[in-house]
Amino acid sequence: MHAMQMTPDHPVLLRIVDDLVAHGWSQQSVFVPDALTGALAAECRRRAAAGELEPAAVGRGPAQEVREKVRGDRIQWLEPGQVEVCDQYLSIMDSLRMALNRGLFLGLEDFESHFAQYPPGAFYRRHLDRFRDDDRRMVSAVLYLNPDWQAGQGGQLRMYLGNDQPHDVDPVGGCLVVFLSGEVPHEVLPACRDRLSLTGWFRRRGDDPFP
């Protein structure tokens, strides 16, 4: 697979910046090509089969706990230099980070991301991505890794926008959703099959009480 490059002035990245300025969120239905989506999905499935994905926790620091009545996904954080296809994705998101800084002056320093696998029936209750005691997460980004997702299989991301109006996004492979972490409540609805994604956050500098 040829490496996919995106510079910070790529039209799709600039469109995301414009959307965030105007609406606080952006949906790009075809953000990456099928080959990259498929390779990332295969890597997520490989890690799941190897038992590397762990039940996701809620909360931070000492208060972290696994609460399946709140969220039921299994995750593993990406680390640079592990796998070429993941490094490709991190490189694209670093270009988006630079585009966001140029357009929104957010002072974003880094991007953290994890694979997420929701088994059939799993969900994530309505929440905000920014912690009450840590405002470093500024912009959330979710890339879906389900190339053959069918309408009616569930698993939508439901965002609550202006006047609390719900907007549903089907987790179709290659689709990217970006939104302001502290301003868009959202939830993940249950699906009837495995649901794969890469979920991440652009962060600014801050003091972390739980390093």
CATH at residue 121: 2.60.120.620
| pLDDT of 62 higher than 60 | no
- What pLDDT was estimated at residue 130? 74
DSSP conformation letters of 15-78: HHHHHHHHHSEEEETT-S-HHHHHHHHHHHHHHHHTT--EEPPBSSGGG-B--TTTB--EEEE-
Percent of the chain with pLDDT over 70: 87
- pLDDT attached to residue 76: 94
For the cut 80, the answer to whether the pLDDT of residue 132 exceeds it is no
pLDDT band at 23 (very low <50, low <70, confident <90, very high): very high
Q: What is the pLDDT of residues 41-57, one digit of tens each?
A: 999 999 999 999 988 76
Is residue 207 in a domain? no
Q: What is the pTM of this model?
A: 0.90
**4 within a domain of the structure (yes/no):** no
Q: Please give the average per-residue pLDDT across 129-158, as a whole number.
A: 88
Mean pLDDT of 112-120: 94
Q: Is residue 164 part of a domain?
A: yes
Residue 40 lies in a domain: yes
Is there a domain that residue 179 lies in? yes
The reply to whether 204 falls in a domain is: no
For residue 3, being part of any structural domain is answered with no
Domain count, the chain: 1
> Which of 92-96, 151-155, 176-180 shows the lowest mean pLDDT across its residues?
151-155
What range defines the domain where residue 95 resides? 11-52+70-198
- Rounded to whole angstroms, how far apart are CA atoms 205 and 85? 27
Could you tell me if residue 120 is inside a domain? yes
